[in-house]
A and B are shown apart, each in its own frame.
Chain A
Amino acid sequence: GAGQDVGRSCILVSIAGKNVMLDCGMHMGYNDDRRFPDFSYITQNGRLTDFLDCVIISHFHLDHCGALPYFSEMVGYDGPIYMTHPTKAICPILLEDYRKITVDKKGETNFFTSQMIKDCMKKVVAVHLHQTVQVDEELEIKAYYAGHVLGAAMFQIKVGCESVVYTGDYNMTPDRHLGAAWIDKCRPDLLISESTYATTIRDSKRCRERDFLKKVHETVERGGKVLIPVFALGRAQELCILLETFWERMNLKAPIYFSTGLTEKANHYYKLFITWTNQKIRKTFVQRNMFEFKHIKAFDRAFADNPGPMVVFATPGMLHAGQSLQIFRKWAGNEKNMVIMPGYCVQGTVGHKILSGQRKLEMEGRQILEVKMQVEYMSFSAHADAKGIMQLIRQAEPRNVLLVHGEAKKMEFLKQKIEQEFHVSCFMPANGETTTILTNPCIPVDISLGLLKRETVIGPLPDAKKPKLMHGTLLMKDNSFRLVSPEQALKELGLAEHQLRFTCRVHIQDPRKEHETVLRVYNHLKGILKDYSVQHLPDGSITVESILIQATAHSEDQGTKVLLVSWTYQDEELGSYLTSLLKKGLPQSTP
């Protein structure tokens, strides 16, 4: 899932023989089988547990974890599931809520049960930030902070020296309750990044916040009521903090209410996981936990009719049902009141209708509701924008990038940008498509100490960072690599040593006698090769180290001397240098 699409995030990664599943989400747009990922892609026959080494859940949003009980209990998976502590805490609440809506309200059967959620959560292993978890001997995972929602994390998956980073959803700009995503320069082979806002660069957050506060403030001062339809988790907390601090700063007295149930439980977890929040909350929680709201109280149905100004957060966020819709109906008639939609609304909902400017709504029972209250739209979204994605890529320096969780057309643009800016290849597979990425794996090789010492002595001092050339024989035996000295290799393999000798003839125009030519060559070489032992042997030949040079007169032309250069394979380097030197000819004789 999530390939060129938003929702139903589910990505399979095979890395160095290990199979990891990233996220296991549902799709909000469908109510049939398409709402869950098709797990038959993984394996047709046999249990999933045998095939998957682990499952990683990045955060608690349902499009990232909604299919988890179905997958683990109904399809059947018993391996480890990894998620962060806050995710583990909040995830079951949301799953239960989701289950209730589908089963109790819509009356679906063949859906996972509460017990299944519980069983599923038992398989979860919680991880801390920056904690390296050894899944098995080779596979290790590590979580990084991702912003977005409480407990959202990016995961680095590493086998040997190959690694993948999966971002989940992340946010590069801090907000009122969470910090910004951060990753070190881990240089993964592949970065799998979300790309919801691939083509957007957002305006500063402050303007939006200020506008929001100003509008709320003005309405309250007028004596009007403000309705803010929200989903229970994430943005709701951010807006609460925003309003709470504003009320504190401005000494306002009007009550703020929060619809009860789900959110209260969630707020409780927010209070607990202070370490996952932003700098300000972390710093001040000793004096006062920011999530212990002073001005925000639980909402009761009866409060909606109270006179005087008030601010109410009510679920759900699109005004399609429930408490928010009830309150909306009560308040819609008064032009002093205001409704603020803090997020996107799906077509067909009341929220979408009023945002697109409809002032007369047809409710069930053929009632016509006239909307006189003000309707405002404020976008508070916690995904990284294009600039943020680029920033993360710059921080992590991956060798390849793969985009998921976004629309194909937008991804195309971002892909092009990434390739252009960072010169790394970028992929954007569709659902069901497999992308193969070539890595440049490093293979550890054992080397005998004797050889190592012998080789390091030669040449300049070792510099740990620079690669060094070594001579040896690579033995591949029983799935292990060893670098040994040639002699040992011969011995081990039971082979006899062969001598390989190169000989080369160099023609030199020199009218003098043979031994004079030799002498000249000798002097010339002696002058150039100061560091090597150059010897003039009594039989008229020259040796440079172990290389032999002999001079004979050409059989036809006495003016041309033929220099015979001969060296063994081991001296290839020096030998070829020597020949090239001699081919240049001798310097003009200096009598």
Chain B
Amino acid sequence: MAAHLKKRVYEEFTKVVQQQHEDLSSKKLRLTKPSKSAALHVDLCKATSPADALQYLLQFARKPVEVESVEGVVRILLEHYYKENDASVRLKIASLLGLLSKTAGFSPDCIMDDAINTLQNEKSHQVLAQLLDTLLVIGTKLPENPSVRMRLVEVACKHLTDSSHGVRNKCLQLIGCLGPVEKGVAKEAESQAAKDVQKIIGDHFNDQDPRVRTAAIKAMLQLHERGLKLQQAIYSQACKLLADDYEQVRSAAVQLIWVLSQLYPESIVPIPSSNEEIRLVDDAFGKICHMVSDGSWVVRVQAAKLLGSMQQVSSHFLEQTLDKKLMSDLRRKRTAHERAKELYSSGEFSSGRKWGDDAPKEEIDTGAVNLIESGACGAFVHGLEDEMYEVRIAAVEALCMLAQSSPSFAEKCLDFLVDMFNDEIEEVRLQSIHTMRKISNNITLREDQLDTVLAVLEDSSRDIREALHELLCCTNVSTKEGIHLALVELLKNLTKYPTDRESIWKCLKFLGSRHPTLVLPLVPELLSTHPFFDTPEPDMDDPAYIAVLVLIFNAAKSCPTMPALFSDHTFRHYAYLRDSLSHLVPPLRLPGRKLVSSAVSPSITPHEDPSQQFLHQSLERVYNFQHLDPRGIQELLEFTIRDLQRLGELQSELAGMADFTATYLQCQLLLIKALQEKLWNVAAPLYLKQNALASAAAKQILEETYKMEFMYSGVESRQVVIIHHMRLQAKALQLIVTARTTRGVEPLFGMCEKFLQEVDSFQRCFISELPHMQGSFVDKLLDLMPRLVTSKPSEVVKILQTTLRQSTFLHLPLPEQLHRATANIIEPTGESDNPLRFTSGLVVALDVDATLEHVQDPQGTVKVQVLYPDGQAQLIHPKPADFRNPGPGRHRLITQVYLSHTAWTEPCQIEVRLLLAYNSNRSKASTRIPKSTWSESLEALPPSENGIEGTIPFSKPVKVYIMPKPARR
């Protein structure tokens, strides 16, 4: 009992001390700097037990230490280190030493000697390991000091004989990270130490502890990464390690073998148990292939991945990976693949397999069959059939890489890839489809393969289907039956999943343009024309019919004889589709409409030039309008804007450019309108109307400038300046309007100051661009700056008004590429009349599917907005995983939006739209400043602009019919 009491008292006592102490030290810390080490010293001296000391150290470790005081702290720690008897405290001190030497700006060479000295008398293996770790940190901090490194390596070598695996581990790690890489530089040091790092590490390949063996291999790899050329002699050692009992050793050894095979691909190694010799890369390839059937899946993944990057391997070996030498009852059997191929080449169609159809034919010599061949036999067959999908994916990736470099291999691996289309895990299926697409220019699909490929079109996963469409876009098909089959399957897909319409049309477009000669004999059948009878005209709005037409028209583009087969309505439909789906239907030279086509056809090749020319000409005209009267200017601007908008609609490539300039001109037009003198001179009561116009204009200009800045990809700094300049003008306009309407001077003071600050920040941000802005608003403003700062608000306003009116219109230079961010909501379609019913108070998930184009960083910027009929708006941030990236500049958002509302009496429509969020912090102005750290760039930004965040709607809103029902009691 007494003992218990005593213990409790003691506990409480120590607690009190600790708290007091904490206060003290924190106070001291703020006052003076060296006090930090002093406080620590006091702490450690006070510590009565190792546990206490450990506590102090832990607390200490949480606080950062200033660069200047690091050395002092280290000295104190070392002092205690020598005194301390408890291993755990020493361990913590050792780790703190490492932590401290990592402090930025601190050069640890001064403490290195001490650190090395501590090693000498240390008995605990754990502490030793930690100290070596510290040395490693110190060593990496001093990269330009070979002598220090040499010394550390020597120390490490000395401790390599330690009996603890942890110490040996660290030693090897240290040698790996710090061992001399260049042989020539440290010649004399080398001879003196007489140490070949590679040999030292190599000796530990046979260490008794698997962890040390792993560390040795890793150290070797580390040396390789640092640029040391590994010796070829290691190869045989590494090969032995492949049969190690421990998976991490095998895994590392596979890597090492791979590295060596890349270093010495062409050198010759003997095959054991025979007199033959083969290239090293082939041998390594065989060995790694062998590892694909390893017992541990980690090793299997590793091996399968590495196989992909061994491209120098000879094709003979490569093809063996796909060969598994089937046999049945000792008789050679053909694989199903071979049978399929044979059926195909003999022109006979498969009637389904009969019992004994695969009956083995020839007898094989029992001696010749080698069940486990040391070669690469069937590695991929095994990899693709593996239990773990990680291995299968790795194998598919490897296949892809190898097939890309070797067309003949691509041809051979096709069967296996096609098989993977039926994998049970979707990721694997998707991966193999993507792989197939990547190698598709090397291959031609046989009919039976195409059949299997097309079967996947009915997959319920949209990703799979779309990947497959992409694949079909770039596949070569060998026969007209193949094309027909593809078309039939695609149409089936279309009826089953009508949402795939666009993607299927696109797919058929490419299919048609790639195989015009194969489509030609199919045309009469596809269009269901008859030599004698007129067939009924198909429905023009039928997506399936459109799909067929897209295929035919695209084929007809390079096949001039085809239009002769068209019937009358086909021509009509062509005209209609050419207009409505111009991106899918190419211009054709049709016999019936010579005039039109001849007018069109010459312009097909250089057709970009005139429109581009037109764009530039119209802009030129606008920029030279100075001599025109205001009335004329306005008209010119209006016409140009209209032209540009029309141009954007017609020429999709120029749409971004045209819209961008049109928006800019629109801003200018608004500004001019708002500044019209007549209005400003009218009497005060009539201000109201004018005021409304001007402030609305200012507001709109602001909005448009944000759009210009954030909605277009490819905007360069030159444009950003002009956009910001326009924004500044709008702000000036706002200031003028408010000055006119508000009474009293007080509020104006603040506003003026704010405006001047903005001007100032503008100047700071774009100082390099200012010379290009002669005669502009800002240029003039900056000239008048000294006057502005001192003058009263009313004067400022007056000055602003005159400068605004006198300033010239800035020329907007166009960047090379400009694309407007667009979004298109595919789902919900907004066509449904059935309301989505759910119980009020609960949530309903609405699937949203949208395509985004030219959006940079969609994960951060794209939001979904839901507008309820009562005006309530809800902003949803989709998860980063909801965005997929099917192609460059394109993104796809597939997410779920949760809706909820209180009960309604009848169904009503809500609006769903996509917003592009922006933040002026992230503006292009700030990205121009080299970003070293986050805080720095924040400081460089004008503080006034910091907080401006907003959203731009960039998709058409979609209406969804919903009906929250009252909850049943």
A residues near B (Cβ < 8 Å) are: 173-174, 176, 179-180, 182-185, 199-211, 213-215, 217, 245, 248-251, 278-280, 341, 355-357, 374-378, 386-387, 390-391, 394-395, 410, 413, 416-417, 421, 461, 463-465
| Distance in angstroms between the alpha carbons of A387 and B385 in the assembled complex | 14
- Which of A207, A210, A248 has most B Cβ within 10 Å? A207
In the assembled complex, which residues on chain B have CB atoms less than 8 Å from the CB atom of A173?
385
| Distance in angstroms between the alpha carbons of A394 and B354 in the assembled complex | 36
Q: Mark B284-301, 1 if CB is under 8 A from A, else 0.
A: 000000000101000000
Closest to B429 in A: A249
Interface check B336, CB cutoff 8 A: yes
A249:B461 contact, CB within 8 angstroms: yes
Q: How far is the CB of A227 from chain B (nearest CB, A)?
A: 15
In the assembled complex, which residues on chain B have CB atoms less than 8 Å from the CB atom of A214?
452, 455
A215:B352 contact, CB within 8 angstroms: yes
Closest to B459 in A: A249
In the assembled complex, which residues on chain B have CB atoms less than 8 Å from the CB atom of A387?
324, 371-372, 378
Interface check B349, CB cutoff 8 A: no
Interface check B525, CB cutoff 8 A: no
Q: Which of A199, A204, A213, A390 contacts B329 (CB 8 A)?
A: A199
Q: Which of A210, A280, A394 contacts B425 (CB 8 A)?
A: A280
| Distance in angstroms between the alpha carbons of A201 and B385 in the assembled complex | 14
A374:B352 contact, CB within 8 angstroms: yes
| Distance in angstroms between the alpha carbons of A250 and B492 in the assembled complex | 12
A203:B336 contact, CB within 8 angstroms: yes
Interface check B672, CB cutoff 8 A: no
Q: Which of B353, B387, B459 contacts A211 (CB 8 A)?
A: B353
A413:B330 contact, CB within 8 angstroms: yes
In the assembled complex, which residues on chain A have CB atoms less than 8 Å from the CB atom of B388?
279
B327:A204 contact, CB within 8 angstroms: no
Q: Of residues 344 to 360 in B, which have CB atoms within 8 Å of A's CB atoms?
A: 352-356
Task: Decide yes or no: A203 and B422 within 8 Å by CB, A174-B385, A280-B389 being known contacts.
Answer: no
In the assembled complex, which residues on chain B have CB atoms less than 8 Å from the CB atom of A374?
352
A210:B354 contact, CB within 8 angstroms: no
Q: Of residues 318 to 366 in B, which have CB atoms within 8 Å of A's CB atoms?
A: 324-330, 333, 335-337, 352-356, 366
Q: How far is the CB of B490 from chain A (nearest CB, A)?
A: 15
Q: How far is the CB of A245 from chain B (nearest CB, A)?
A: 6
Q: 5 closest A-B pairs (Cβ-Cβ)?
A: A174-B387, A207-B336, A355-B355, A206-B419, A465-B208
A183:B295 contact, CB within 8 angstroms: yes
Closest to B163 in A: A461
- Which of A184, A204, A356 has most B Cβ within 10 Å? A204
B295:A185 contact, CB within 8 angstroms: yes
Q: Mark B189-229, 1 if CB is under 8 A from A, else 0.
A: 00000000000000000001000000000000000000000
In the assembled complex, which residues on chain B have CB atoms less than 8 Å from the CB atom of A394?
372
In the assembled complex, which residues on chain A have CB atoms less than 8 Å from the CB atom of B324?
201, 203-204, 387
Q: Mark B707-748, 1 if CB is under 8 A from A, else 0.
A: 000000000000000000000000000000000000000000
A461:B328 contact, CB within 8 angstroms: no
| Distance in angstroms between the alpha carbons of A213 and B452 in the assembled complex | 11
A206:B422 contact, CB within 8 angstroms: yes
In the assembled complex, which residues on chain A have CB atoms less than 8 Å from the CB atom of B355?
341, 355-357, 375, 377
Q: How far is the CB of B367 from chain A (nearest CB, A)?
A: 9
Task: Decide yes or no: A280 and B424 within 8 Å by CB, A214-B455, A377-B355, A386-B371 being known contacts.
Answer: yes
| Distance in angstroms between the alpha carbons of A341 and B354 in the assembled complex | 11
A202:B326 contact, CB within 8 angstroms: yes
A391:B372 contact, CB within 8 angstroms: yes
In the assembled complex, which residues on chain A have CB atoms less than 8 Å from the CB atom of B774?
none
Q: Which of B295, B354, B389, B496 contacts A395 (CB 8 A)?
A: B295
Q: Which of B381, B384, B458 contacts A251 (CB 8 A)?
A: B458
Task: Decide yes or no: A376 and B422 within 8 Å by CB, A201-B325, A279-B387, A280-B389 being known contacts.
Answer: no
Q: Which of B293, B370, B389, B452 contacts A391 (CB 8 A)?
A: B293
B325:A376 contact, CB within 8 angstroms: no
Q: How far is the CB of B245 from chain A (nearest CB, A)?
A: 5
**5 further contact pairs, Cβ within 8 A, besides A214-B452, A249-B461, A386-B327:** A200-B329, A204-B416, A250-B460, A280-B425, A377-B354
Closest to A173 in B: B385
| Distance in angstroms between the alpha carbons of A279 and B391 in the assembled complex | 12
Interface check B758, CB cutoff 8 A: no
In the complex, 23 of the A-B residue pairs with CB atoms within 8 angstroms, ordered by the A residue number, are A174-B387, A180-B386, A183-B295, A185-B245, A185-B295, A199-B329, A201-B327, A203-B326, A203-B335, A203-B336, A204-B336, A204-B384, A206-B384, A208-B336, A210-B452, A211-B353, A214-B455, A250-B459, A279-B387, A280-B389, A390-B371, A395-B295, A417-B371
Residues of B in contact, count (CB < 8 Å): 48
B208:A206 contact, CB within 8 angstroms: no
Task: Decide yes or no: A204 and B385 within 8 Å by CB, A250-B458, A417-B371, A421-B372 being known contacts.
Answer: yes
Interface check B161, CB cutoff 8 A: yes
Interface check B855, CB cutoff 8 A: no
In the assembled complex, which residues on chain B have CB atoms less than 8 Å from the CB atom of A377?
353-356
In the assembled complex, which residues on chain A have CB atoms less than 8 Å from the CB atom of B459?
249-250
Closest to B330 in A: A199
Closest to A251 in B: B460
| Distance in angstroms between the alpha carbons of A391 and B381 in the assembled complex | 14
Interface check B310, CB cutoff 8 A: no
Q: How far is the CB of B47 from chain A (nearest CB, A)?
A: 38
A461:B161 contact, CB within 8 angstroms: yes
Closest to A178 in B: B387
- Which of B337, B371, B386, B455 has most A Cβ within 10 Å? B371
B389:A416 contact, CB within 8 angstroms: no
In the assembled complex, which residues on chain A have CB atoms less than 8 Å from the CB atom of B260?
none
| Distance in angstroms between the alpha carbons of A213 and B355 in the assembled complex | 17
Interface check B420, CB cutoff 8 A: yes
| Distance in angstroms between the alpha carbons of A89 and B496 in the assembled complex | 44
| Distance in angstroms between the alpha carbons of A375 and B424 in the assembled complex | 27
Task: Decide yes or no: A209 and B422 within 8 Å by CB, A200-B328, A200-B329, A394-B372 being known contacts.
Answer: yes
A463:B208 contact, CB within 8 angstroms: yes
Q: How far is the CB of A241 from chain B (nearest CB, A)?
A: 8
Q: How far is the CB of A544 from chain B (nearest CB, A)?
A: 31
Q: How far is the CB of A240 from chain B (nearest CB, A)?
A: 13
| Distance in angstroms between the alpha carbons of A203 and B161 in the assembled complex | 52
| Distance in angstroms between the alpha carbons of A250 and B335 in the assembled complex | 27
B424:A245 contact, CB within 8 angstroms: yes
Q: How far is the CB of B832 from chain A (nearest CB, A)?
A: 20
Q: How far is the CB of B564 from chain A (nearest CB, A)?
A: 37
Q: Of residues 375 to 398 in B, which have CB atoms within 8 Å of A's CB atoms?
A: 378, 381, 384-389
| Distance in angstroms between the alpha carbons of A213 and B423 in the assembled complex | 12
Q: How far is the CB of A179 from chain B (nearest CB, A)?
A: 5
| Distance in angstroms between the alpha carbons of A277 and B354 in the assembled complex | 32
B372:A174 contact, CB within 8 angstroms: no
In the assembled complex, which residues on chain B have CB atoms less than 8 Å from the CB atom of A200?
327-329
B424:A204 contact, CB within 8 angstroms: no
Q: How far is the CB of A192 from chain B (nearest CB, A)?
A: 19
Closest to A464 in B: B208
In the assembled complex, which residues on chain B have CB atoms less than 8 Å from the CB atom of A203?
324, 326, 333, 335-336
| Distance in angstroms between the alpha carbons of A209 and B337 in the assembled complex | 13
| Distance in angstroms between the alpha carbons of A202 and B324 in the assembled complex | 8
A199:B384 contact, CB within 8 angstroms: no
Q: How far is the CB of B834 from chain A (nearest CB, A)?
A: 21
| Distance in angstroms between the alpha carbons of A387 and B107 in the assembled complex | 60
| Distance in angstroms between the alpha carbons of A461 and B378 in the assembled complex | 47
Q: How far is the CB of B619 from chain A (nearest CB, A)?
A: 53
| Distance in angstroms between the alpha carbons of A192 and B330 in the assembled complex | 22
In the assembled complex, which residues on chain A have CB atoms less than 8 Å from the CB atom of B335?
203-204, 207
In the assembled complex, which residues on chain B have CB atoms less than 8 Å from the CB atom of A182?
295
A249:B460 contact, CB within 8 angstroms: yes
Q: How far is the CB of A228 from chain B (nearest CB, A)?
A: 15
A413:B384 contact, CB within 8 angstroms: no
In the assembled complex, which residues on chain A have CB atoms less than 8 Å from the CB atom of B420?
206
In the assembled complex, which residues on chain A have CB atoms less than 8 Å from the CB atom of B208?
463-465
A413:B372 contact, CB within 8 angstroms: no
Closest to B374 in A: A421
In the assembled complex, which residues on chain B have CB atoms less than 8 Å from the CB atom of A357?
354-355
